[in-house]
Structure 1
Amino acid sequence: MAVAVNKRSVMTLFCDTTDIYGHQIRLVLAEKGITAEIEFVQANNLPQELLDLNPYGTIPTLIDRDLTLYEPHIAMEYLDERFPHPPLMPVYPIVRANARLAMYRIRKEWYSAYHTIMNDPNSAKANETRKSLQDDLTAVSVMFKETPYFMSEDFTLCDCYFAPLLWRLPLLDITLPKVAEKHYLNYMSRVFERPGFIESLTDDEKKIRAL
């Protein structure tokens, strides 16, 4: 079987302009100041170069020399390990494991809810999921009374998971209750105003909220 070869000399991220997973990776790239080419493509019209390198034909796909990563959370951790400064994962194993569990929950539960709602926003299933996600976000909002970032004093990969979801709440037609909104306001301002977050946004994503 022939093995596809990456002909690019610069790290390249293939993604579209609104995909939440692509936003995650762009946020890590921006926060770490990593030089990379961003190739915006559509999922239904992928270039042959990408199809040759990614056996699943999916985006986002991160290509770095001979390495092709098509699982977003692996790509994010790879970038954090390859470019260790500033670190985006905790140093201590127990804290790091808790961070990984938090990211797993965000991906497993909240991102699943995001996709359910976006796939058919007006369905009964979407309405049920919307209420459940709103309740979950309200329940965890109190954590931001304790720490400035997601379970941490510092900006981490957990924030790179969570912030793109919060940014998209208007798309989901989710309005948080006043008590939860109060807890989130400082967090959202703190994260959304970071130079890295602003840099990570595409023009299409900027339209989701007024900057």
Structure 2
Amino acid sequence: MLLYEHPLSSYAQKVKIALREKGLDFQVETPVGQGLGTATGVFAAASPRKEVPTLIDGEARIFDSTIILEYLEDRFPASPLLPRDPVARAEARMIEDVCDTLYEAVNWGVSEVRWYKRAEGDLAAAMTDAAARQTSELQAWLAAKLGDRLWFGGETFGWADISVAPYLNRSFINGLGTPANSPLTHWLERARQRPSVAATFAEADAVASGMASAAERLASGSVNREYRDHRLEWMMKSGGVQIVLDGLAKGNIRFTWPLG
């Protein structure tokens, strides 16, 4: 199997953790031109939105992290990630949806401000404060879902844990992690000890230093950013309306396929 990915993508991290939890062999590749939305070849043919992750498995061409997880669950049922109980399965999927949409958008917004310098001064402070409030609310919701259990699904690490780990870990990187005595903090410490999670996070850490030049690359035109669905909503509700307008004027933001 070949996984088109970027190590810093929380969506890709989710899939890599799942692949490793299932003990599957796979190769990874970061598509050339993916940061500009100009990628071509097999990746672009398989993923019309030109978004990672995208999985190639024989004749199968699958994009979207959730659909990839569902495919892996169907294709390799011997090591299930979803619980058997219908209510528990729905609970895991709801946790995934909140993380993939709302939590991802907040983390992404923080990177737009801190790494890509879309806002400075008072605006940057106000948007960072908004992100901190939103992150805290999301973390409180997740803490309630976890309760006093070892994992989100109970005694077994699974679908919901895979879905939460990349986003909560990113919060800690952003300085918005949970307090030391929080159940979520202890949960993440346990998750990081799993080989699947440790390897995935190590791959992200290995390329994170490159983000120091993110603002310069944006200014030079060597990268633009995709303002998809919940990310655009986050910008609009968190004080970034002018950022969107400026990005459109400068041509350094893009939207997903189809464009015309």
User: TM-score per shorter chain, which class?
Assistant: 0.7 to 0.9
Residue in 2 aligned with 1:131? Answer: 133
CA contact (8 A) 1:60 1:72 kept: yes
CA contact (8 A) 2:81 2:158 kept: yes
CA contact (8 A) 2:46 2:62 kept: no
Amino acid at match of 1:91: R
Change in CA separation of 1:177 and 1:37 when aligned onto 2, cut-off 3 Å: closer
Q: How many angstroms apart in 2 are the aligned matches of 1:151 and 1:14?
A: 29
Residue in 2 aligned with 1:196? Answer: 196
**How much is the aligned-residue C-alpha RMSD, in angstroms?**
2.2
Q: TM-score, normalised by structure 2?
A: 0.68
Please tell me whether residue 91 in structure 1 is matched to residue 93 in structure 2.
Answer: no
Aligned residues: percent identity? Answer: 21
Q: TM-score, normalised by structure 1?
A: 0.82
Task: Say which of 82, 91, 106 aligns to 2:75.
Answer: 82
- Cα deviation code 1:81-112 (max 9, x no counterpart): 21112210011222212221221122222112
Q: C-alpha displacement at 1:193, in angstroms?
A: 0.3
Residue in 2 aligned with 1:16? Answer: 6
Q: How many angstroms apart in 1 are the aligned matches of 2:70 and 2:96?
A: 11
Change in CA separation of 1:15 and 1:156 when aligned onto 2, cut-off 3 Å: same
Q: How many angstroms apart in 1 are the aligned matches of 2:49 and 2:147?
A: 42
Q: Which runs of 5+ in 2 are unaligned?
A: 209-260
Residue in 1 aligned with 2:24? Answer: 34
Please tell me whether residue 63 in structure 1 is matched to residue 63 in structure 2.
Answer: no
Change in CA separation of 1:106 and 1:17 when aligned onto 2, cut-off 3 Å: closer
3-state SS of the aligned residue for 1:49?
helix
Amino acid at match of 1:150: F
Residue in 2 aligned with 1:100? Answer: 93
Change in CA separation of 1:24 and 1:193 when aligned onto 2, cut-off 3 Å: same
Amino acid at match of 2:21: E
Amino acid at match of 1:199: A
Amino acid at match of 1:136: L
Aligned residues: 196
Q: C-alpha displacement at 1:12, in angstroms?
A: 0.7
Change in CA separation of 1:207 and 1:56 when aligned onto 2, cut-off 3 Å: closer
CA contact (8 A) 2:10 2:167 kept: yes
CA contact (8 A) 1:69 1:75 kept: yes
Residue in 2 aligned with 1:6? Answer: none
Task: Say which of 89, 102, 107 aligns to 1:109.
Answer: 102
CA contact (8 A) 1:138 1:177 kept: no
- Cα deviation code 1:152-183 (max 9, x no counterpart): 221111111101112212332214235xx432
Q: How many angstroms apart in 1 are the aligned matches of 2:133 and 2:183?
A: 19
CA contact (8 A) 2:172 2:178 kept: no
